[in-house]
Amino acid sequence: MVVTAPTEAAAGGIVIRPIRPEDGEAWLAFLGALSPATRFKRAARRLEDMTPEGVRAATDPDPRRELALVAAPQGANELCGVARLLLADDGLTGEFLLVVADRWQRRGIGGRLLDALLEEAARRGVATVEGAVLGTNRGMLEFVRRRGFAVEPLAPKAISVHVVRHLRV
């Protein structure tokens, strides 16, 4: 799938594709360049393992456990966004993680990554996709709402909101 962001037409467009083992260096550079605000908003409960084993696991995930897509400028060794779906043991439920590099945000890349992730999840028979979004991350809450996720009310004292979308009828 090729996505052409009008402002980046000169860069030849953005490709959405599965992550691959050769992405190790680009993945580390992508993570290293994330601003503190973007890191905070991710609300990731899992910290990335940057050891060689961790990089291998992140760039060559076991397809029974994880589905991982990246957005990459065509022909460049760079990643501008990463979307993952961490699958439960039965493969029917998955938790999504999504982050777009600061300089690429608000250009439609996150939307395309999440759409592609949901499409691939449905193709693989995943029934439910869920995630945790910081209650203060209004942009992301609006973003997932528009994609058909139900946003549960923020529980007392909780900082993140559970969002869920059912893919099967």
Ligand X SMILES: CC(C)(COP(=O)(O)OP(=O)(O)OC[C@H]1O[C@@H](n2cnc3c(N)ncnc32)[C@H](O)[C@@H]1OP(=O)(O)O)[C@@H](O)C(=O)NCCC(=O)NCCS
How many Cβ atoms sit within 10 Å of the Cβ of residue 14?
25
Applying the rule CB under 6 A, the residues between 42 and 61 that interact with ligand X are 42-43
Residue type, 110: G
**In Å, what is the CA distance from 94 to each residue of 31, 86, 97?**
22, 5, 10
- Pair 99, 131: CB distance under 8 Å: no
Q: Which is nearer to ligand X, 56 or 162 (CB)?
A: 162
Rule CB under 6 A: say whether 131 interacts with ligand X.
yes
- Report the number of secondary-structure helices (H) and strands (E) in the chain: 5, 8
Pick the piece of the chain touching ligand X (CB under 6 A) from 13-21, 56-64, 119-127, 130-138: 130-138
Would you give the binding string for ligand X spanning residues 85-104, x where CB under 6 A is met? Answer: -------------xxx----
| 42 token code pair | 């991710």
Rule CB under 6 A: say whether 148 interacts with ligand X.
no
Q: Which of 16, 133, 161, 167 binds ligand X (CB under 6 A)?
A: 133
- Pair 95, 130: CB distance under 8 Å: yes
Residues engaged in binding ligand X (CB under 6 A): 38, 41-43, 98-100, 105-111, 131, 133, 137, 139-140, 142-143
